[in-house]
Structure 1
């Protein structure tokens, strides 16, 4: 069976490893990545293929049929390479893991017993499932519902983690006070 994880939002380190699927111990045939690849500086997307898929393609036509308007854009590729180099050279994944744990701990400390906050879930600095705010409990139709998205930069430090939690707390408390 061919596994193709969609790591457009969580790939390239957001969860504390280059790919979230690595943490589950699964081997993907193809991986779709995008946002983290350009780090917000340059739009880019990519599909990574395993050696087995590569060998299969080579044994067949030898051609990976795909394409979009801006395929192989030199500036986008240069930006992606620079982002990848910075992640490695600055050991940003270690910071993502450490600050992600701190952020979750501080969120649980601040909101763990909050009557209007449900489950606080995270992995690294990925808080997509994040704060489930009652009574809606999430987004049912993709547009309506109460939810929050926290996605701080990989270079965040503890003072900014505290600032995020303080400002989020003030915003939630202020909105509930009416």
Structure 2
């Protein structure tokens, strides 16, 4: 959901697709109080997230990248047929090799489903004849605010790390 500023009025889209004027929200007697509070809370979260500066996003991306790089290989998730050990939550992940380091960086709304459906990084590792025991997956789960900026976080991480299996890296405007 995105909040908009239209002619000086704050508006927000509801999950049903309606656009509400928050200045007149108290007049909407059809909505229960819980719904009003939930809409206002989402509006505030959206406003906080949109106010993040580029520097704050870059700092957060570098912090997450540092976590992925410094995570010991033994603490990363091993490759399994069902990937049942991976979290089923939103996250940024790195496919790591024991000696070569990070091979691929990506984002997913559900990390487990992302790998269960097949993944090109694992296919490339197979083609490069890497031992499956030497390849693992490091995951950092994302908060709601981080999830909204996941595309920007991933792009900045790719620019810094330049993993060899990431074929498309979004270039910055700098």
- TM above 0.5: no
Larger radius of gyration: 2
TM-score by length of 2: 0.29
Q: TM-score by structure 1 length? A: 0.28
Larger strand proportion of the pair = 2
Q: Which has the higher contact order (CA 8 A, sep 6+)?
A: 2
